[in-house]
Amino acid sequence: MEDRPIVELHDVGVKYPNGVTALEGITIDINSKDLIALIGPNGAGKSTLLKIILGLIKPTSGSVKLFGCSDLSKNLKYVGYVPQSALVRDPNLPFNVYETVMIGRTPVVGLFHGTKAEDKQKVEETLKLFGIYELKDRKIGQLSGGQSQRVFLAKAMVSEPKLLLLDEPTSGVDAASKKEFYNILERLNKERGITVILSSHDISVITKIANRVLCVNKSQFFCGENEDFSADAELHKVYGHPVEIVDHHDHP
């Protein structure tokens, strides 16, 4: 499974029944241990692309393979996902941090099986790894943006995925929490070999930690190694106007 690309997208496109094109001509092979920066303006199709990889949206053209298999559902247990809306929570949602992270074990535990001691141990380890063990009894709707973001990353990681998909995970989060988040992400990629596809508007930071960049705005504008990415030129093309990158020195 490690020898071939983790994700294979070949000329992938999505056209809605009303004829509107959401995405077209996306072709990329994502290899093990890649950290892909997925860049594009709002409405460019970044979330759609991640949902295609997860099988939540069926492409109307092209082909998608996950761990070498066209039946995406077979390998979803190797994928962790943090959606764009993860931070928007109802304060009355009666799930505490421990339960939220435990929910992430569901694909591993399997149908008709209850959680075992090893699942509980894994959850506790993950809570400690992400520095949220002390918050384990807190309701998730009562956490700050930064805390909530770490909880959802922990939930995605507790099933020990090989691929992590993150859809604008730092939106609405303060600078200090962002810095901490990207540090954790870089460690997961470099030390644990987790393949990451990260969609974000924090261009200055994610292009520093990513080894490859994919720029989309309905279609594919750039796909290549980080060192070949010319930020000013490529961002001008993908955003349709000059983009000034402001480095907030969020990342060491």
- Tokens read off for 200: 């974000």
**Rounded Cα gap, residues 127 and 170, in angstroms:** 19
- Of 122, 139, 212, 218, the one binding other proteins by CB under 8 A: 139
Residue number, 93 or 176, with CB nearest to other proteins:
93
Q: CA 187, 192, 196, 201: dihedral to nearest 10 degrees?
A: -10
Stretch near other proteins under the rule CB under 8 A, chosen from 5-13, 89-97, 172-180, 205-213: 89-97
List, in order, residues 6 or more apart from 116 with CB less than 8 Å away. 109
State the number of binding residues for other proteins (CB under 8 A): 31
From CA 218, how far away is CA 55, in angstroms rounded? 19
Nearest residue (CB) to other proteins, 86 versus 184: 86
Outline where the chain has alpha helix (H).
46-54, 97-103, 106-109, 117-129, 145-157, 175-192, 203-209, 231-239
User: Least Å distance between CB 179 and other proteins?
Assistant: 26
CB of 146 to other proteins, least distance (A): 20
Return the residue of 10, 21, 29, 95 that touches other proteins, per CB under 8 A: 95
| Residue with tokens 């990342």, as numbered in its chain | 251
Part in contact with other proteins (CB under 8 A); list of ranges 93-101, 187-195, 208-216, 230-238: 93-101
- Integer Cα distance of 207 and 55 in angstroms: 27
Instruction: State how far the alpha carbon of 64 is from the alpha carbons of 7, 14, 67, 195, in Å.
Output: 7, 12, 10, 17
Should residue 171 be labelled a site residue for other proteins when binding is judged by CB under 8 A? Answer: no
- Pick the binder of other proteins from 69, 93, 176, 245 (CB under 8 A): 93
Q: Which of 19, 94, 242, 252 binds other proteins (CB under 8 A)?
A: 94
Q: Which is nearer to other proteins, 21 or 115 (CB)?
A: 115
What does the per-residue mask of binding to other proteins show for 59-88, with x meaning CB under 8 A?
--------------x--xx-x-x-x-xx--
C-beta of residue 67 within 8 angstroms of C-beta of residue 75: yes
Residues of this chain that bind other proteins (CB under 8 A): 54, 56, 73, 76-77, 79, 81, 83, 85-86, 92-96, 98-100, 103-104, 106-107, 109, 111-112, 114-115, 137-139, 159
